[in-house]
Structure 1
Amino acid sequence: MVKPIIQPLDLIELVKANDVVIIDAGNVVSYGMQHLKGAKHIDLNTDMANVPDNAAKGGRHPLPDPVSFGAVLGRLGIKPHSHVVVYDDKNGALSAARFWWMLKAAGHKNVQVLNGGVTAAAKAGFPLSDLVELSEPAAPYVFTQWQLPQAYIDDVEKAADNSMKIIDVRAAARFRGETEPLDAIAGHIPGAINVPYETNLDADGFFLEPEILAQKYLEVLGDTNTKDVIVHCGSGVTACHALLAIDYAGLPLPRLYVGSWSEWSGRGKTVAVGE
């Protein structure tokens, strides 16, 4: 099984020797201006989520059903044996990590996130393009259920009252309730601890080394079993950045709460502020 993170120079060598499906999960406008040559675009709102009319119904970015996502994968030319590399223009936090988690949850083995994204790959010498890349469609990717651990709002409510840990990866100011740019209510889930996703990266925007990430998350988790850990963010997207870091560190994956703060706050659940 491949490592969850691939370095830019390794991607260049991989493309020379293998048939690789490269996915740009960044902003569609940025994709139209510049992307890695050969990369196909995937959209968070239309391809990776079943966006509701009310965020209280599963959050701002609920997962699509397996049939819908399988059709998207087929459209992108992704087959069960494909080696897939995904990136975005925000060090994996915009949508690349979410796509990585979804593809793994579909049962796919060979999927990696590009360390440093398009900027790092360009600096390493990977050619760029502004042309829309057309893929040769494959048959719909067939899977029947999401295969990675998830938590739902009832699980989170119970977790706040027992020994389970809830990790909130949003920025510290959002966690403390000092600002809220996206959701109607500011604050955090009672009992949650704040581990901002940016702390997975070094000053240059690359993921920290696996050993450093392992030490960091072992300190956060203590003796709590990862099956008793729930990770969330605002809408189940940047939470996947933490899950990617945890996997890169060689630790078992905790549960993803896809609904996240957008669902919790939209349901009128109890809100905490401050540290």
Structure 2
Amino acid sequence: MGDLVIRNLNQSFPRDDGSRLVVLDDLSLTVQDKEFVCILGSSGCGKTTLLRMIAGLDTAESGSVVLDGEEIRGPNPKVGMVFQEYSLFPWRTVIDNIAFGLEMRGMPKGERHRVAEEYLELVNLSQFRDSFPSELSGGMRQRVAVARALALDPVLLLMDEPFGALDAQTRNKLQIELLEIWEKTKKTVVFITHSVDEAVFLADRIVVMTPRPGRICQVFEIRLPRPRDRTDREFAELRREVLDLINQHCSIQ
């Protein structure tokens, strides 16, 4: 099961003057198996720091991150991650980018290409199998990055503002495609965003963080049925409710 349990997480970083900058303060959160959770907050509130600790890329000063009953103490094969910057290898074709993690695990070429092609089809890019990243649009590159993460069959998929650098039309299209992929794969997803609209469109729950030091201000359960219509009255009311909360209670005092 893909339950993620974060308990009393604290993190700070040294300053030049010898003091420490507190980034996360006693943060606790549980994400259920197969749940799609968006973490929403202003720049500098610790969203990416939190994601890196969930991924095992950074170690917390105190507290714990437990996935599937096992504490995460370093990079974990059960966790996949998609970054905003795509992070594709420009010298590798699309199929070889998707297969890279499988290659690192020692899977034979024929088998890893078979697996990679399944996920290439899932993101609707089979016709670009032998293309290079420079030949793809930004949205297509991000779909390759999603396929690469999913090819490793993680229990948990972490996404750090994956659509933040894209234009609005492409971003909306990829949000729809991501939900289609999530419904097929049923992965547990933790998705970081600055966009209230994006969070309301995607999430089962929205976790709103305070400005630094990052704490959880409030959690919204989104009960709107999917697919969601951004022009729907209930969607607009919920978006306004989240924005009002951020402005009144979760903003810098």
TM-score (norm 1): 0.28
Higher strand share: 2
TM-score (norm 2): 0.30
